[in-house]
Amino acid sequence: MTDIYEHRDEDGAEAEKFLEKDNLKNLPVIGKYLEKKPKVTVLRLSGVIADEGRRKASISYARYAKLIDKAFEKADCAVALVINSPGGMPAQAELIGAHIRRAALEKKIPVIGFVEDVAASGGYWLACAADAIYAQNTSIIGSIGVVSASFGFEDFIAKHSIHRRMHTAGKDKSFLDPFLPERESDVQRLKEIQHEIHAVFIDWVKERRGNRLRGADKEMFQGAFWTAGIAMDYGLIDGIADMRGYMREKFGKKVKFVEISPEKKLFSLPSVPGISADDVIGAVENESAWNRLGL
């Protein structure tokens, strides 16, 4: 039996050629479904930056590493970082920022950052992972510094006749013990560590922003924060724009947005009824991070 696919007339060949995808795009009904639309993936970084073990629903490297990879795998024209963070742990911000840059270079996909309420301290560290940064007029930008905060309970335990007992090997092992009077040597050591971290932060900002920075170091890198207009004057951001408006102007009105976000568990019940001390402390620390910016 002759194979029906061995011999094709000219009409059949032309019909087959027409059925190719590019030609189908010209059909009024089918074409709109086959037309390739520019795809922007949207990765939202919202909240305080901390390891998952310290705070629930935080921005952490463990939580976002795979999401970053997914964002770059699905994008074909850009990745949008939507940032709303008052900061947090510098090492977590450094890990996330470095991962974003590695993925961007590997996939050759541009990264555009969009600040909502705030990108301060570690939040601005994350924003600098983008090739360009945009914000709203009322966004808070900056706080390029390092802060450490704690409590002293030595008077409290003395008042309640509680005696602190601690035995260490190494004179600095009880560094900044909140149940002992503050030692000047501890404070000095803490400041040295802060200055080291601050220098790394400044280097990152200078590396990422380059010659767009227009302010003096003594003005930009002392921990102050500003609204977007002043931040733009300093070169800390590139302009005023919202994510969807900017991307539609850049890639056309048919651009497709793909949201990438952490999975939410259907059932998230505490193992023990009530609220734990860690929950309370975490909530206080979380609120404190936002309150430092008047938010």
CATH of the domain at 219: 3.90.226.10
Question: How confident is the chain (295 residues) per 10-residue block, as mean pLDDT?
Answer: 43 48 52 71 95 73 96 95 95 97 97 97 97 97 80 68 70 67 74 90 97 94 94 97 96 95 59 45 51 50
Domain count, the chain: 1
Contacts within 8 Å (CB) and 24+ apart, 98-102: 99/61, 99/64, 99/65, 99/68, 100/68, 100/129, 100/130, 101/129
Return the pLDDT at 8.
43
- Residue 272: per-residue pLDDT: 44
Domain membership of residue 279 (yes or no) is: yes
Q: What is the pLDDT of residue 162?
A: 75
Burial of 15 (C-beta count, 10 Å sphere; 0-12/13-18/19+): exposed
pTM comes to 0.75
How far is residue 109's CA from residue 76's CA, in Å, rounded to a whole number? 7
Residue 166 lies in a domain: no
Residue 165 lies in a domain: no
SS3 248: helix
What's residue 71's pLDDT?
A: 97
Domain contains 62: yes
- Domain presence at residue 30: no
Provide the domain limits for residue 129.
Answer: 35-146+198-291
Q: How far does CA 201 lie from the centroid of its chain?
A: 15
Within a domain: 167 = no
Distance CA 77, CA 257 (A): 11
Q: What is the dihedral of CA 210, 216, 217, 219, to 10 degrees?
A: -130
The pLDDT value given to residue 150? 65
In a domain, 181, yes or no: no
Of how many residues is the chain composed?
295
Torsion of the alpha carbons at 100, 104, 110 and 113, rounded to the nearest 10: 0
pLDDT reported for residue 2: 42
